[in-house]
Amino acid sequence: MPPGGGATAAQLLHKGQVVDDRWVVEKMLGKGGFGAVFEVTDKKTGRRDAMKIEINATDFRTLKVEVTVLKTLNENNARHVCQITGVGKKELFCFIVMTLVGPSINSLLESLQDQFSDGRTRFVLRSCIYVGQRSLEALEDLHANGFLHRDVKPHNYASGRPPHYRKIYLLDFGMCRKYVKEDGSLRRPRERVGFRGTLFYASVDCLRGKEQARRDDVWSWFFMLIRMTVGQLPWRGWAPPRGCSVTKQASMFGEFKGRLIRNVKRFVDGCPSEYAEIAELLQNQDFYDTPPYARIYSVLNSLMARKGYDESYPLDWEDNGKHHQQTMAAPAHNMMPGGHGQSSLDYD
C-alpha cells in the first residue's frame, strides 16, 4: 500500500506547492498508483518543465532506471531525448524534472480520426519520413550508450511544444536494459526471458520469448513507420483465444506475425517500394549485429529525393501543415509509463 495513509502519488503534490524551493506545481499531467507527472514552473529559469514522481515504498523502481538512462544520454549529448534539470528524494517520494513535451505521435495520429473514412489515420509521407529518421536517430544514440529500449511504439515518441514542432523525443526508459558489459563486450542472451513490451509493436523474436537485442528495437521502429504511413499493420485484426496467459498470447502472436513478415510484399503493402528494402535489411540481422542505421537513413533519403521533398516541406502538425487544425486537438503527452509488460495488443 502506498505510504501516507494510503495516499497515491497524485495526492502527494498540489497546485502551488513548491518542491525543493525551486519547482512550483502548476497541474497534474498523468497519474498511476505509485507514480504521477506534474507540470511545474522552475523559479530559477521561469521555464515550464515536467516533474515525474514515484512513491518510495514501491519495489518497481522505473524512475531509478529512467534517471540512470537519461543521465547517461544527456552526458553524451544523445539526440532526441529530454534534458534533466533536477533529481531529488523527499520523505515520501523521489522525483526527476525534465523537458516538457508536446503530443505523442500516437495522439497526433488519433487526432486525424475524422479525416479518413476508412479509420486508418496516417500522416503525409513527408511527415512519416521525418519522424522515421529522427526516431531512429534516437534509438541509434540509445544503443550507442549501451541500452535497449524494449517498448518502441508511437505512444513513446512525442513532438516538441509549440513552436518547436520539429523536435521529436524518445520517452519512457523504465524498461531499458543494458546489453553491454562494463568492458564493452555484448551480453550473451539469456535462455528464458519474460515478455516485455507491447504485443502489437513487439518483434517476432521478442514475442517468441527470446532475449531482445538492438535489432528488436529497430523492428518495432519499422512497425511504427509502417503504421504512420498506411494507417495500420497487417496483423491488426488478430486476437488471441480467451483465457490465454500473456506468454501464450505472445507466442501465438509471434507465429502469426512471423508468417506475415516473411511475405515482404504483403507485409509492406501500400508503402513506398523503399520500405521493402528496409524489411530485407532487418531480416538479415542476427542477435549480435549492429543495426544498419546508415543504410536505412540512405534508403529514406532516396525516398525523399524520389518524391521531390526538401527539408522545408511542412509536417502535418506544423502551422502550415496539411492537418495542423486537426492536430491542435491532440493532448500533450502526460509522460506516464505506457503499458510495461502489458497483455493488451494496444491497437490504434
- Which sequence positions are flagged as catalytic? 151
In terms of DSSP H, where are the helices of the chain?
3-6, 62-75, 105-110, 125-144, 204-207, 214-230, 246-262, 264-267, 274-283, 293-307, 324-327
Type of residue found at 12: L
Q: What residues pair up with 98 in beta bridges, in sequence order?
A: 50, 84
* CA end-to-end distance (rounded Å), the chain: 33
Neighbours of 330 (CB within 10 A): 21
Q: Which helix (H) or strand (E) holds 93?
A: strand 93-99
**C-alpha distances out from residue 228 to 14, 34, 129, 215, 232, Å:** 37, 32, 9, 20, 8
Distance from C-alpha of 277 to C-alpha of 65, rounded to nearest angstrom: 35
Cell digits of residue 115: 479525416
Distance from C-alpha of 34 to C-alpha of 198, rounded to nearest angstrom: 21
Cα–Cα–Cα angle for 106, 110, 112, nearest 5°? 130
Q: What share of the chain is helix, strand, coil (3-state, %, to 5)?
A: 35, 15, 50
Q: What residues pair up with 19 in beta bridges, in sequence order?
A: 23
Q: Which helix (H) or strand (E) holds 147?
A: strand 147-148
Distance from C-alpha of 321 to C-alpha of 252, rounded to nearest angstrom: 41
Residue count (the chain): 348
